[in-house]
Amino acid sequence: MKTLSDYMSLALDEAKNALIMDEVPVGAVVVKDDSIIAKAHNLTELNHDSISHAEILAIRGAQNELGDSNLSGCTMFVTLEPCHMCAGAILASRLDMVVFGAFDERLGSCFSRVDLLNGFYDTSIKCIGGIMEKECGQILSDYFKTKR
């Protein structure tokens, strides 16, 4: 049986794929009953005007795989705290739990983990922060060093 850190490692691998493609290094994995349902990383859309966020892509993949828009019983592992848009998608999908790897305010995330934890979104989602934070943080740090 895999641990939280094992699944976060898979999300971290997705973040590395995004980094290789010169994207913001965010990866997400959706798990149910110890099985990987979907995984994704950030991708710039073809028109280069916006980004397809890893969290939303993973949710869509999981919904396609399970054939149901309700992802009850699923856990999402994501390397970075989601923005409010992604947090809204996470809530709408009715995941049971979200595990965050790290947070970096330079990405413009609006402290949504705090909002989720304090009930701002009126949600029952259980949020955990800090899993493999050092590794996730290192990837983010490396990303911003290459962008300067």
- Beta-strand relationship, 126-128 and 97-102: parallel
Catalytic member of 14, 23, 55, 81 = 55
Chain centroid to Cα 16, Å, comes to: 13
Q: Are 6 and 34 in contact (CB under 8 A)?
A: no
Which residue's entry shows tokens 């922060």?
129
Residue 42: CA count within 13 A, CB half-sphere = 24
Q: Is 55 a catalytic residue?
A: yes
Which residues 6+ apart lie within 8 Å of 100 measured at CB? 78, 80, 81, 113, 127, 128, 129, 130, 131
Which positions are annotated as active-site residues? 55
